[in-house]
Chain A
Amino acid sequence: MRSPLARAQGLGSAKGGVKHWWAERASAVALVPLTLWLLGSIVAHTGGDYATVIGWLKTPLASLSMIVLLLALFHHTALGLQVVIEDYVHSDAKFAAVIAVRLGCLSLASAGVVATLQIAFSR
């Protein structure tokens, strides 16, 4: 039987949240050139065979760009999906869902980085 003010106050301000907002923006800014680079490369290599694609990807510049892209991409994805879940999921499932998304993004980013390194160091 709380007063309207107490109910609106909830547990009070978390006095935080800007880090998440800032990281989302920083990764977004990084992703603008990186994703355009990826798209441009894919378009430029349309119809290329396996050897051509590997030849492009194993260069130091391409490998590095791909790794930075994967890190920025999955960081941005994890932050964005966390916000979506917080918006729509209000049960206890919210915490499990956010953890799942973060772990999933971490795993996928790692898998992508490993694959890129394998290609970079292949014969």
Chain B
Amino acid sequence: MDSKPTILGVTAGRPRPLSPNIQIYRPQLTSVLSIANRITSVVLSLGAVGLVIWLTAAAMGPRAYGEVQGVVVSWGGRIVLFGFTFAFFMHLCGGIRHLVWDTVHGFELRSIYISGWAVVAGSVVLTLAAWAASLLLAG
């Protein structure tokens, strides 16, 4: 095997092609939940910005607060809020799964898959529960 410089190597004067990776690799529960956790983290970062906006409006007085709340309780706002709630619970459940892994527990494939589906189920159930509770309390 005749490898020349450049990280890709060269055969017969041509740079070697790179075999496909994400273009063909099968999505599995492992990689899908991992990227989902990352996507939720980015979504929640935006949510954190939203939290600061909401707090600042509250500090500025009833009029500023009223404007921000108007957006929040609008139909578009509620859909976004629902999305944020789901992202929050998915990141929370996924995060707890990660914290358990940090203690070096739950690494057998069976546990990985059971905890993975538990994260999916937990996210859905907790999101619906939170919104049901909110609707009940709002009367």
Contact = CB atoms under 8 A, between A and B. Distances in A.
A7 B7 contact: yes
A84 interface: yes
Contacts of A25: 99, 102
Interface stretch (A12-20, A50-58, A89-97): A50-58
The interface size bin for chain B is 20 to 34
Given A35-B88, A81-B45, A50 B66 contact: yes
B58 A53 contact: yes
A53 B59 CA distance: 11
| Chain A contact surface mostly | helix
A39 B52 contact: no
Kindly state the interface size class of chain A when it binds its partner: 35 or more
Contacts, number: 80
A42 to B, nearest CB: 8
Interface string B121-139: 0000000001001110111
A73 B56 contact: no
Interface of B: 3, 5, 7, 38, 41-42, 44-45, 48-49, 51-52, 55-56, 58-59, 62, 65-66, 85, 88, 92, 95-96, 98-99, 102, 130, 133-135, 137-139
